[in-house]
Structure 1
């Protein structure tokens, strides 16, 4: 009679113990508890409803007349009047509504592109180069983050009026390109996403600083640039006080200023105004949904120290 010894099970490494069990699930040792998952889902659902509720309310309100807005349930449809409110919107704005939307897209898009390039260039310079006055420049930028934008509106008007640029598109685009917050983000991203060793290797290969920035740095900072672009785009789109001070021609108004003029009328058609607000925000929603993937990657790049 022969006795066989049981073969001991092979020892598993720490990496194997922490490896995911199936699919994309996290390792069992790192997986959150069931209660934590339920709480997370509930909190995220409530947050989603909180942010979607204003859009839902605007969709409901834009279908009603002034009388229905007062008499009917504010959270559900009454006599649907989308077509009538749209006709009132176009009639009151004298056909300028879609031009106002196009103006907002032009102002925000131009300011976003130019401001992003300026912010990334300045942030890259502050992060990767050492020169006299660098600390002072950083302090001035940080101080600019603490200064309210409304405080600069009247000085900006005086300056632009002196150089005869008021009531032009440049009176909106040029001030909106300056973003201390964008420079700050560009500096943080450049510190964490651009390896110094890569820049030194490019210099050893004979690449100029401009070529390094254009062919290497901008590619590494692409997700960060999307994030900065969205911040500047939304800030310019929502800016009301600057266009109010600078623009007097109806053809140059952004959609925010145009809808304000509609509400300041002594008997505004509120359903038509809600229709304008709903149509006016669609480009921003489309932009966020289209750039969501790059925006999330940019936020993650700025949050991780390499």
Structure 2
């Protein structure tokens, strides 16, 4: 269903995310701990990115895909000294635990643990987040590559907000949650509600399971090229992705669509009488109506005028995704 009309708090938070710093509670997202000797090799073989190049203190985004390269979830992995933390989408952790467990063979030294209930996760979003993490004692991360992380008094601070906006992700024992939240608000962070996050997610173009990440789409169509290693060798779905890249076979892409009115997700996108795609997400924003949708590559890109159901729309770029290898 389309998101209901936004309120003043959401409007203020969206503005602050662009100019200052907001904090979003992402503790409903899942955290899976992957441990034992074969953890990096195992994750390397089960997802699109190159885990075996990562050292403790580093991290990356990766996509879990089916054997035919259909998308399951966009996951962030943080490599620790003795484990890897996987930050997975809300409502996805039980499925992913079972899915990953199916690929652990008798000789594999891999242990999977769901630590979501024992863990809190916040994201600091916006250009003011550098000053915030300095106050939290993690200033050494400023300027470090995406996914870099350090532990400060039990608080793990990682580079990356979860969106294409500057920021950091904080992971900590659940017992510290209230204290850290109050500290961030005291330092000047403004709360971003779940609805505010969803609005930003759509404006930024971060794909979500069951909407943009489904059995209908592969990571290259989604625009998650930065999560794919084309050099690492065999992994689940690798043959399909390599073939799509080699033969330029990406038939549709995820785009932003500026809309004239609210539209239900799943609405067909057309140009004249021709069906060219489908809307996957919609939100009202401080600047009007906005959606995400897949559009056939031959139809065009930025600036394309489309009909989404009965509503006029214009295709625009979204910063979280790209349509070629970076």
Q: What's the TM-score once normalised by structure 1's chain length?
A: 0.27
- Normalized per residue, the structure richer in strand is 2
The structure, 1 or 2, with the larger RCO (C-alpha pairs under 8 Å, 6+ apart) is 1
Q: What's the TM-score once normalised by structure 2's chain length?
A: 0.26
| Rg larger for | 1
